[in-house]
Structure 1
Amino acid sequence: MRRAVEIAGAALGRTSPNPAVGCVILGVDGTVVGEGFHPGAGQPHAEVEALAVAGERARGGTAMVTLEPCAHTGRTGPCAEALLRAGVARVVYAVPDPNPTAAGGAQRLREAGVEVVGGVLRGEAERGNELWLTAVRRGRPCVTWKFGSTLDGRSAAPDGTSRWITGPESRQDAHALRAAHDAVLVGSGTLRADDPHLGLRHGVPGRPPLRVVLDKDGSITPDARVLDDSAPTLVVTGPHTPKPALHDRHEVLRVPVTDGALDVVVLLDELWARGVRSVLLEGGARLAASFVAHGLLDRVVAYVAPLLLGAAARPVLDDFGAPTLMAGLRLSLGEVTRLGDDVRLLLRTRDLPGAGEGGVP
Structure 2
Amino acid sequence: MAVHEAERHAMTRALELAARGPRGANPQVGAVILSPEGEILAEGWHHGAGTPHAEVDALSKLHGDAAGGATAVVTLEPCNHTGRTGPCAVALIDAGISRVIYALDDPGAASGGGAERLRGAGVEVEAGEQADDARSLISDWLTAQRLGRPHVTVKWAQSLDGRAAAADGSSQWITGPDARADVHRRRAGADAIIVGTGTVLADDPALTARDGDALYEHQPIPVVIGARETPADAALRRHPNESVFYATRDLHSVIADLHDRGIQTAFVEGGPTLASAFIAAGLADRVLAYVAPVLLGGDRLALTDIGVPSIDAARRLTVEQWVPLGADMLAIARFQEDNEQEDNEQEDNEQEDNEGVR
* TM-score > 0.5 by shorter chain: yes
Identity %: 37
Aligned 1:146-295 pairs, distance under 5 A:
146-147=155-156, 155-156=164-165, 160-163=170-173, 165-167=176-178, 169-178=181-190, 181=191, 183-202=192-211, 203-206=215-218, 208-209=220-221, 211-216=222-227, 218-228=228-238, 230-237=240-247, 255=248, 262-274=249-261, 276-295=263-282
Q: Which amino acid aligns with 2:223?
A: V
Residue 71 of structure 1: which of 52, 56, 80 is its match? 80
- Correspondence for 1:39: 47
Residue 289 of structure 1 deviates from its aligned partner by: 1.4
For 1:144, what is the secondary structure of its paired residue? Answer: strand
Question: Residue 186 of structure 1: CA displacement?
Answer: 0.6
What is the deviation of 1:189?
2.7
CA distance in 2, matches of 1:63, 1:21: 11
Q: How big is the shift at 1:195?
A: 0.9
Q: Deviations along 1:155-184, whole A, 9 cap, x unmatched?
A: 556662334634265244223213xx1x33
Give the structure 2 partner of residue 310 of structure 1: 295
Structure 2 distance, partners of 1:348, 1:121, is 28
- CA deviations over 1:120-144 (Å, ceiling 9, x no partner): 5656544542333333334334323
Structure 1 residue aligned with 2:71, among 45, 55, 61? 61
Q: 2:285 maps to which residue?
A: 298
Q: Number of paired residues? A: 317
Distance (Å, rounded) in 2 between the aligned partners of 1:54 and 1:343: 56
1:132 paired residue number: 141
Match of 2:102 in 1: 92
Alignment RMSD (CA, Å): 4.1
SS of residue paired to 1:177: coil
Q: Distance in 1 between matches of 2:120 and 2:205?
A: 54
Paired position in structure 2 for 1:355: none
What CA distance in whole angstroms lies between the structure 2 residues aligned with 1:30 and 1:347?
47
Question: Corresponding residue for 2:153?
Answer: 144
1:320 CA drift (Å): 0.8
Q: Is the 8 A contact 2:166 2:296 kept in 1?
A: no
1:31–1:138 CA distance, 2 compared to 1 (3 A): same
Answer whether contact 2:159 2:295 (CA < 8 A) is retained: no
Instruction: Tell me, yes or no, if the aligned pair for 1:149 and 1:166 is still in contact at 8 Å.
Output: no
One-letter code aligned to 1:299: R
Q: Which has the higher contact order (CA 8 A, sep 6+)?
A: 1
Q: Distance in 2 between matches of 1:22 and 1:148?
A: 40
2:271 is aligned with what amino acid?
A: G
Structure 1: where are the runs of 5+ without partners?
238-254, 256-261, 352-361
Give yes or no for the alignment of 1:320 onto 2:306: yes
Q: Go from structure 1 to structure 2 and tell me whether the alpha carbon gap of 1:74 and 1:325 turns closer, same or farther (over 3 Å shift).
A: same
2:33 counterpart of 1:21: no
Cα deviation 1:282-321 (Å, max 9, x = unaligned): 2222212111111112334x2747x412253855433313
CA-CA distance at 1:343 after TM superposition? 7.1
CA distance in 1, matches of 2:19, 2:165: 34
For 1:30 and 1:114, locate their aligned partners in 2 and report how far apart those are by CA, in whole Å. Answer: 17
Letter in 2 for 1:215: G
Q: Is the 8 A contact 1:91 1:114 kept in 2?
A: no
Query: Please, what TM-score do these two structures have when normalized by structure 2?
Result: 0.69
Amino acid at match of 1:221: P
**Paired amino acid for 2:303:** L
Q: TM-score, normalised by structure 1?
A: 0.69
Aligned counterparts of 2:156 and 2:34: Cα–Cα separation in 1? 43
